[in-house]
Structure 1
């Protein structure tokens, strides 16, 4: 049965929050100030109707909005949406007692996402390929996606056919599709063990359809062309399932902010370096020491450096920075540093950076909460926060990137 609610504010995941008997209720696809009806289950409710709409409510860009689970905020007016994302970073900093003017959000354009993770499953009615409905295991098949690069959307039918060819399980599995300079790179996870006949048929399909590569659970099945991306002037052949920033524009913005900040540094440490999106750009001016826990990513970085020309020296180390962070003594050999950890942040590594004498630090994060925690550690260690720039690359989602730039004054002797 539906009940009436008044939306007070947006939560951190983009859901509207209403006060109610028994505690707050989270209602997706609503906006502050709206009066709605929704069917409540404990602290969540499914929207049934909007009785009084916010003046900030707009028509969504996609027919699948509210169903596919990919976007949370297509109904939110663009400028208000961008301000809400900026405030997510500002609120996280404030919660840690960090006083800093957060820059204007760098926006994300539609049709720019180059890396998409689809869910797939074989059913009696055929192969499903799409996104999972929020708080559900139901796969919603999609026919459009206004966040993704057009080449991905145009390939939905052949990706669905390829999913059918590699499927060897009744369960749902994932298909990561990345746009590269060489074509689409498709990495399948948890689709089951492929038989020899499946491998042959899938390989022939990839060749016929002009895809760059097909891998299953990290194993390359067929690779007509090595998938290549550009990090500045350097071409990198990325390994299967490699991490890339979701949009090329956001990556370039982050790299530009980091590069300008570290431009005076002769020796730079790049921690959580991945395939080298920062390291290979920084190497145009600085000697770089790249540290990464994933061996294939580090190998791709190293190969790219060796085949590139005109770069300063780049060396690498495979190291789990969560279990064994670089110590402050090791860090003292550098005059610049960038770190870009996963969503969990880099608490232990930040403690070592805080104790170091590295004068220039750039912190890159996809999680405002863990970024604020790590920045608090650095500030308590003597660093000064110069700027924080939020960057949107996950359009219409609650996720936001940020680049924080810090300096540590030289100690008087």
Structure 2
């Protein structure tokens, strides 16, 4: 059904929201105040034409915007876009009755994302490699990407050639590409059994093209150079396809906030530590106990520590903090805590932190809703919220990172 709608607001996913007699309709790539022609199916709308554009509408910088679902807000004026990102955090805090004035948003530049996850599939017309169309399983083949560092964009033809060797059926797959200090780290995933001959051919191509590493479903095919990610002054080689803060400048900004807050802590617990983005920076001034559920990132962290100089002691512990959070008694051995959980947050761990006497806590999250929930737990446990800083690490998407800093007077024993 084709209708003309007025967009009233932006939803949490960056879609325009039109209020109709039948309820809300969500229309991607629209802005508040616009009059648009839309093809409506249930509560979703496909933009057909903008009849009356918003004064906030700008020309998107990428040719694929509107078909590729990787970005949803390239058409929005920069000041309004930043305000939307900050409001995502502010609204989540308000829902948990947390009254705090946000610090200014830390912005993210175009062409700066060092890690991207591409989707691919072999078709009769050739190899598709790109991102999914919004709300669809269809893969949009891309020739440019204005969020990724230029070296990744330049590598797209090579990645298609590699995919043509590795992926020999029509099953969809993913490839994670990370730009490291020593070259690109390329990790294919969701690939069916790859013949030995294809592995050798892909490995030969990776060496000729000077990739740092090529892996398939976690197995390293070739490591021409050990991939290196620099955490402050420490080089770490994360495992294939592992978590990494997407934008180096955003990671540096978040680490700066955390390090300043925990500067006087002699012993710090880094929970959900990954491969050590915060732990290894903090170790310049504090002893650090790093806790993570997966062994491979911990091993990378430990290797980075052991091959570095000038750091205080760093210990590691493999522990599933969702199933077995550090108890408040264990936490009381520390002067500071930083935790950076997945999107689900750290509800149970936060309850233990709230019962502890640790004077300084830094909470990092890519999900404002679960961050607000966890902060509510900490505040109810006696912590004072010092600051919350939004960080735009996910350019032109509705997602936003945040760093919250808290403190509690240590009880006298």
Fold agreement, TM-score > 0.5: yes
Query: Paired residue for 1:282?
Result: 282
* Superposition map of 1:267-306 within 5 A: 267-306=267-306
Deviations 1:245-290 (A, max 9, x none): 0100000000000000000100000000000000000000000000
Matched, 1:214 2:214: yes
Residue 403 of structure 2: aligned partner: 403
Q: Within 2, Cα distance between the matches of 1:272 and 1:410?
A: 24
- Of residues 233-242 and 381-390 in structure 1, the stretch that sits farther from structure 2 once superposed is 233-242
Q: How does 1:31-70 map to 2 (within 5 A)?
A: 31-70=31-70
- Residue in 2 aligned with 1:17? 17
SS state of the match for residue 19, structure 1?
A: strand
Q: Structure 2 length normalisation: TM-score?
A: 0.99
Give 5+ residue unaligned stretches, structure 2.
none
Q: Does 1:313 align with 2:320?
A: no
State the shift of 1:169 in Å.
3.2
Whether the 8 Å contact between 1:64 and 1:142 is mirrored in structure 2 is yes
Contact residue 187 and residue 218 of structure 1 kept, 8 A: yes
CA distance in 2, matches of 1:219, 1:155: 21
Query: 1:288-323: CA deviations, max 9, x gaps?
Result: 000001100000000110110010000000000000
Alignment correspondent of 2:238: 238
Separation in structure 2 between the aligned mates of residue 407 and residue 146 of structure 1, nearest angstrom: 39
TM-score normalised by structure 1 residue count: 0.99
Q: Which stretch shows the higher mean deviation, 192-201 or 261-270?
A: 192-201
Three-state SS of the structure 1 residue aligned to 2:8 is strand
Unaligned residue ranges in structure 1 (runs of 5+): none
Post-superposition shift, 1:4?
1.2
| 1:116-166 alpha-carbon deviations (Å, 9 max, x no partner) | 111111111111111110111111111111111000011110111011111
Match of 2:124 in 1: 124
- Per-residue deviation at 1:168? 3.5
Instruction: Note the 1:3-402 alignment, pairs <5 A.
Output: 3-402=3-402
- 8 Å CA contact 1:58–1:75 kept in 2: the answer is yes
8 Å CA contact 2:122, 2:168 repeated in 1: no
- The answer on whether the counterparts of 1:8 and 1:19 sit within 8 Å (CA) in structure 2 is yes
User: Where do 4+ consecutive residues of structure 1 move more than 2 Å?
Assistant: 410-413
Aligned-partner Cα distance in 2 for 1:23–1:104:
35
Contact 2:283 2:313 in 1 (8 A): yes
User: Once structures 1 and 2 are overlaid, which stretch shifts more, 376-385 or 167-176?
Assistant: 167-176
**3-state SS of paired residue (2:224):** coil
RMSD, aligned α-carbons: 0.8
